[in-house]
Amino acid sequence: MTHMKKNILVVDDSALMRRVMCDIINSDSKFQATDYCRDGLEAYEKLKHTSYDGVVLDVNMPRMDGLQLLEKLQKEGIRANVVMVSTLTDSREADVTILAMERGAIDFVAKPTNIIEAKGEAFKRQLLGVLDAVLATQKTAGGIRVAAKPAAKAPMMRKAAGGKNKLVALACSTGGPKALQSVIPFLPKELDAPVVLVQHMPPGFTKSMADRLDDLSKIRVKEAEHGERLQKGCVYIAPGGKHLKVTKTADGNNSIVLDDATPAIGGLKPCANLMYDSLTASSYDEIVCVVLTGMGADGTNGILSLGRSKPIRVIAQNEETCVVYGMPKAIYEAGVVDEVVPLDEVAQTITKNVGVK
């Protein structure tokens, strides 16, 4: 055998789900489901003494749930690459999942609602896809810190040149929910531009993520609504399951269009390329495009086509701070990136480019 299989620990209180997930993991030659546990307490005992390449962790379990386990691991400095498994239909579980990212989980997969779905191709693809992306980079979960308070040196505030009308358009995927907590809370309340944001995520989770970021931030953060006008100093997050586009209104302003009719593109809905494409017809003088951690290349084609019709400024997250260096790598290799910055400098780089009102 040329390579060692990566060892995965599966933690779930349902015997059926454990079985299904172990089978999926073992079906891929890169992985093996080495151990499984029924709850967080059992998992904690294992993780104290054994190190795994990855942990697949259920959110909701008796005795010790996923969030409590993560908090314990964090407190005791036990590092683990954790992927959460979380029920789509339960909004409380979506909230907990977002908190779990804050506590060190790298990403999550949506838990199947029934056995047919659990044994289906889509769940298998999703679980293996996330494990693949997260473990290929072999970053330990402790690598990205959620900043507790903004860096002491204030970002260079400059008034937007010549009173230009600007927009910030941000795209991220795998590792994004956690990365955004090091960006959005550090944007000033008076940012002189609206922010539109596509994070690849299923429905339900984007609302939890928007609410959590709003709690942590001075700038306003909300899940985008169809038809609302874009206002400076507000972050609009594309709802999972809908594409976000921007359209020019009759009076020369801009508003949001949520597009349900267009199918997922390459499995993605929302898709960042569609958002960037829509901006060609907007009334903004300049668009600051930001690409953060994520697998794949969504955003690159849209930014390239946008750049042919409007002035753009492109900021990409650097490789070292990405959970998955996919999307930022694609745009970097396309040759249009103006600034490559570590995660904790993204907010001040955005602010420097659009100014404060």
Percent of the chain with pLDDT over 90: 83
Catalytic residue among 107, 200, 217, 282: 200
Total-model pTM? 0.89
Among 90-99, 110-119, 138-147, 181-190, which stretch is predicted with the lowest mean pLDDT? 138-147
pLDDT in tens, 15-53: 999 999 999 999 999 999 999 999 999 999 999 999 999
Architecture of domain 161-354 in CATH?
3-Layer(aba) Sandwich (3.40)
Catalytic residue among 86, 173, 182, 208: 173
Catalytic residue status for 298: yes
**Residue 277, pLDDT score:** 98
Q: In DSSP terms, which residues pair with 287 in a beta bridge? A: 167, 312
Q: What token pair was written down for 153?
A: 């040196």
Q: What token pair was written down for 354?
A: 């659009």
Mean pLDDT of 117-138: 88
Domain ranges, ordered by start, for the chain: 6-143, 161-354
Catalytic residue among 12, 192, 214, 298: 298
- CATH ID of 6-143, from 3.30.70.1230, 3.50.80.10, 3.40.50.2000, 3.40.50.2300: 3.40.50.2300
What are phi and psi for residue 168, nearest 5 degrees? Answer: -105, 130
Q: Do domains 6-143 and 161-354 have the same CATH topology?
A: yes
Torsion on CA atoms 22, 129, 319, 33, rounded to nearest 10: 10
Catalytic residue status for 200: yes
pLDDT in tens, 158-216: 444 456 899 999 999 999 999 999 999 999 999 999 999 999 998 889 999 999 999 99
| Cα–Cα nearest to 186, from 18, 14, 343, 9 | 343
Long-range pairs, 335-339, Cβ under 8 A, ≥24? 336/303, 336/304, 336/307, 336/312, 338/313, 338/314, 339/314, 339/315
Rounded Cα distance between 116 and 174, Å, is 26
- Cβ pair 217, 185 in contact under 8 A: yes
